[in-house]
Structures are given as structure tokens and as C-alpha cells.
């Protein structure tokens, strides 16, 4: 991002030039509504269907399994309500203690309405307690909802066998794949998910557009009603420019994964972590021992306050975050790090640095200088 050292890609990513170019015609002369029965409408409808196929290819799905939404939050809310409606005789839900707020807040509301929500814990590296998970999946469970990767630490969940356990118990499986989309290979059919949430702005696409994956044959009632759009699965005129951008971003992400460009990002991340550990006494990298997204570094600076350090970094143009961007203004300890049972000094001093495909080696070297200098200044060294 021009003028900034931008290491907050897990919050959102810069829209790539090629993505913007794919969107621009649909913000101007190509103004048709996909539901309109005239040439301009047909042109827009063809774009939406082509984009549906492109997004599906990125996640190992079929085009008919993809419904466009306003983003991952809408997709998640739709999936949760759909699953509970399909299992109306069951009142238990299984999730993890470290999910995104798009999952945890609706579940908290459902809990107030009488549902029993089982929050499975994680270990000190952010790995899911699989024994507790499988023990919790029984004939009373309507829904199991889990993320594929944690947005704060980057820790990847091992979902092997979860779909089979859900099928055996008659439960529905939803996965929040927002943070892993475009960063690691993702095959929703191989995972065995019934539903999955996707979002464009995490892989260099535009904000305000996402998708709900619903496995072939999985019918559900729409969250938004009022029209026949998206095969009556989501009412409202489609965001055609956003969908065009999402499709181009998905295609570019497939190319990046195939070319090994994410390994370059991993190497930059590892260089950043090792250099910080060597330059600043006491630095701790969270989830370092777990399989992680290649771009995410959650780092504790014991003895420092995360908000103060974040402010010092921002004064020098370095963009990072203290926990999830969705809760940046709340100034509460990260529920993810608390669930990992980390010492309070680590929780209170942790920052997330998340790289992207646009991050350069030169930016990492400059970021290292800024972090080391800022930490030393705050410690009075």
C-alpha cells in the first residue's frame, strides 16, 4: 500500500491492479442488472455465472454450490441458520473457543435462546483438541462449525475425520474458510463440509462480496428474502462489479498457489520472526509449533503494552494489529490467546503481523527496523 508498510493482510488485502481492471467496466458502461431480460442484463448474468465457476475452482467445488453474498459474515450467518432449521429437533452446537466473531456472536445469541453451545479448546500452540471435539459430536448435535485457519495466529485446524463424525451423528458441518482462502490449498469437497464461508477481500479482491458454499443437494432457506436472485438462495441484486473482482482475485490466487508464490511469503514471514527474536529479548512467536498459514506472525513482546507499541509503529507508517481487526476498538485481551492459556504478559503484549502476496523483502527489512527501534524506545533503551 502506497505510503505505508502494510502488514495487516489478515484484516484486508490491497485490491490488485488486475482485479480493479476487471471491475471497472461493470462500474461504468456495463450497467445491466443480471435479472433483466435484455442484452445488458444477459451480459451481466453471464459474468456472474462465469465468476461463480471461477470461485468454485479455487475451493474444489461445483459452480452450482456457490451463492454470492455480501461477505463471509453473511455467509456464516446464513449457514448457521440453515443448519439449525434442517435439524430443528436438536439443540446442541459444537464449535471452538477461538472462532471469529462472525461465528461466536451469533452462537452467543443462540445460547441465550436455549441452545447448548460446546466450545472445544485449543492447546498452547492453537491446535484444536481433537479428542474433545470428537467426544462432543453426538446425536444431540445439530451443527459443528469450525474455522479452517485462525485469523489471529494463523494456526490451521486439522479437520481430518470431522465430516465423517458429523455424518455418523447426523450433524451438519460448516467451515469458516475466510482466512485460509487463497493462502493454502482448499478443497471443500475433500473436507466434506456441508457449508463454507468465503470472502473476497482476504485474497486481494474487493470488500463487500463473498460466497456461501452449500454442498450439492444441501437445500436451505435464504437469510435475505425479497427476490429470486441467486436461485432464490439470496435475495437482492448481485454486486456485479464486486463479483467480477472476486473472480479475478480467485483466478490469480489459484495461479499463485500453483507457482509457489506463497512459499516466498512464508520465507519472508520466517525471516521476520527469526530476526525479531534475535534482536529483541523475550520475543515469543505464538503458534510457532503448529501448522500455520504462510503469511501470519503473532508475536508477543513481554514487558511492552501491545496498544502502545502499535501506536508507535503506526506513527512510522507500519500497519499491524493487536488481535482481530473486528475487535480493534474494544481493547479487550484476545480471546484466541486467552483460550491458548498463555501468560498474561504475552497476551497483553501480542501483535499480529500478516503479510500478503504484494509484500516485498525490502518492506520486511524496513518493518524490522521500525519494530526493533520502537520496542527499544518504549523500553527506554
The set of catalytic residues is 326
Contact 131, 178 (CB under 8 A): no
Q: Which of 94, 110, 75, 99 is nearest to 142 (CA)?
A: 94
Picking from 270, 354, 370, the residue whose alpha carbon sits closest to that of residue 314 is 370
Contact 73, 223 (CB under 8 A): no
Length of the chain: 381
Give yes or no for a contact between 174 and 144, defined as CB atoms under 8 angstroms apart: yes
Query: Other C-beta atoms within 10 Å of 270: how many?
Result: 14
Determine the 3-state secondary structure of 67 from DSSP: strand
Sequence-distant (≥ 6) Cβ neighbours of residue 329 within 8 angstroms: none
Is the CB of residue 216 less than 8 Å from the CB of residue 62? yes
Q: What kind and span of H or E run contains 309?
A: helix 306-315
Give Cα 285 to chain centroid, integer Å. Answer: 20
Torsion of CA 8, 9, 14, 17, to 10 degrees: 140
Could you tell me if 124 and 340 are in contact, meaning their C-beta atoms sit under 8 angstroms apart?
A: yes
Q: Give CA 258 to chain center in angstroms.
A: 20
* Residue whose C-alpha cell reads 463424525 in the numeric block: 165
Instruction: Kindly give the pairing relationship between strand 5-6 and strand 318-319.
Output: parallel
Place of cell 462500474: 27
Amino acid at each position: 500500500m502506497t505510503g505505508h508498510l502494510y502488514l495487516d493482510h489478515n484484516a484486508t488485502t490491497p485490491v490488485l491492479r488486475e482485479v480493479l481492471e476487471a471491475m471497472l467496466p461493470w462500474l461504468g458502461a456495463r450497467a445491466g442488472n443480471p435479472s433483466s431480460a435484455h442484452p445488458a442484463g444477459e451480459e451481466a448474468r453471464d459474468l456472474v455465472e462465469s465468476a461463480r465457476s471461477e470461485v468454485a475452482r479455487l475451493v474444489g467445488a461445483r459452480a452450482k454450490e456457490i451463492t454470492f453474498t455480501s461477505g463471509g459474515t453473511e455467509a456464516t450467518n446464513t449457514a448457521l441458520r440453515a443448519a439449525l432449521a434442517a435439524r430443528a429437533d436438536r439443540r446442541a452446537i459444537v464449535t471452538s473457543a477461538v472462532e471469529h466473531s462472525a461465528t461466536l456472536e451469533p452462537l452467543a445469541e443462540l445460547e441465550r435462546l436455549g441452545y447448548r453451545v460446546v466450545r472445544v479448546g485449543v492447546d498452547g500452540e492453537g491446535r484444536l483438541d481433537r479428542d474433545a471435539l470428537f467426544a462432543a459430536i453426538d446425536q444431540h448435535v445439530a451443527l459443528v462449525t469450525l474455522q479452517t485457519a485462525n485469523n489471529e495466529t494463523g494456526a490451521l485446524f486439522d479437520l481430518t475425520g470431522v465430516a465423517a463424525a458429523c455424518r455418523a451423528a447426523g450433524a451438519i458441518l460448516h467451515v469458516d474458510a475466510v482466512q485460509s482462502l487463497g493462502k493454502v490449498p482448499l478443497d471443500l469437497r475433500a473436507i466434506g463440509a456441508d457449508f463454507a464461508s468465503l470472502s473476497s477481500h482476504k485474497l486481494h479482491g474487493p470488500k463487500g462480496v463473498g460466497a456461501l458454499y452449500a454442498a450439492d443437494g444441501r437445500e436451505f432457506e435464504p437469510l435475505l428474502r425479497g427476490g429470486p436472485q441467486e436461485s432464490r438462495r439470496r435475495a437482492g441484486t448481485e454486486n456485479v462489479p464486486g463479483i467480477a473482482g472476486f473472480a479475478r482475485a480467485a483466478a490469480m490466487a489459484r495461479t499463485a498457489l500453483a507457482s509457489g508464490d506463497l512459499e516466498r511469503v512464508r520465507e519472508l514471514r520466517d525471516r521476520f520472526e527469526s530476526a525479531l527474536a534475535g534482536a529483541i529479548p523475550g520475543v515469543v512467536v505464538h503458534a510457532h509449533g503448529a501448522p500455520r498459514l504462510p503469511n501470519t506472525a503473532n508475536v508477543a513482546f513481554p514487558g511492552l503494552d501491545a496498544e502502545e507499541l502499535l501506536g508507535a509503529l503506526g506513527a512510522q507508517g507500519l500497519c499491524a494489529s493487536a488481535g482481530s481487526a473486528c475487535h480493534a476498538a474494544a481493547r479487550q485481551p484476545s480471546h484466541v490467546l486467552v483460550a491458548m492459556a498463555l501468560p498474561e504478559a504475552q497476551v497483553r503484549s501480542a501483535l499480529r503481523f500478516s503479510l500478503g502476496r504484494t509484500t516485498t523483502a525490502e518492506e520486511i527489512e524496513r518493518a524490522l527496523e521500525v519494530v526493533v527501534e520502537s520496542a527499544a524506545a518504549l523500553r527506554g533503551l
